[in-house]
Amino acid sequence: MINAPSDDCVQDENKTALHKIHKAIEDLTAQERNARKSTRTHVDKAKARFDCENQRGAIMSMRKCHKLQAEQAKILEAIGYLRTLEAELESHVLLASKICNDPVLGRRSSLACKGMSKFTSFESKVQRILSCDQIREPEDEAPSDEAILSELASMTQTR
């Protein structure tokens, strides 16, 4: 029969996993904030270049803007996923601690082992997310130069 891990060991691993999730959320939030600021900067540059009739420069700034917006969307998606994982892990930790501390059940070791397999799946999900250092570039086709110029024209008209 498999021996159940001690409560202290499981609690330490849970705290470590939750700490990694919190840290990843903080890091991704900072990345999202930077992407948002860069987007605003590139929109302003694109407008200024468009007003000075530098169409090529305006198009390049808007292309960078679109990439930053796609990156921002991916980051927000990752933050949402991590928050869901965090809530699920906290729920399972609470349930496992209630089960382990219930003397009536008398099946502590087998339940703890089942709980550990669930924890291990959470840990692997967290590790998989944390191992992705960069957000992948979107696979969509970039808008045409004409579409970007018309977008800029509508942006400058609304000022």
**Does some domain include residue 11?**
no
CB 136 within 8 A of CB 75: no
The per-residue pLDDT for 106 is 47
**Does some domain include residue 3?**
no
**Does some domain include residue 49?**
yes
**Does some domain include residue 1?**
no
d(CA 145, CA 150): 9
Give the domain extent around 25.
17-135+146-157
**Does some domain include residue 68?**
yes
Q: Which residues of the chain carry a pLDDT beneath 70? A: 1-11, 100-123, 125-127, 129-140, 158-159
**Does some domain include residue 4?**
no
Looking at the structure of the chain, the number of domains it has is: 1
Say which residues have a Cβ less than 8 Å from residue 86's Cβ, sequence separation at least 6: 18, 21, 22, 25
90's tokens = 């906290």
**Does some domain include residue 2?**
no
**Does some domain include residue 5?**
no
The per-residue pLDDT for 94 is 80
Residue listed under structure tokens 């709980």: 115
End-to-end CA distance of the chain: 72
d(CA 32, CA 69): 10
Q: Give Cα separations from 36 to 9, 26, 68, 98 (angstroms).
A: 40, 15, 8, 43
Tell me which DSSP letter residue 134 carries: S
Q: Give Cα separations from 115 to 49, 81, 94, 98, 111 (angstroms).
A: 59, 21, 11, 12, 6
Q: E strand or H helix at 114, and its extent?
A: helix 108-131
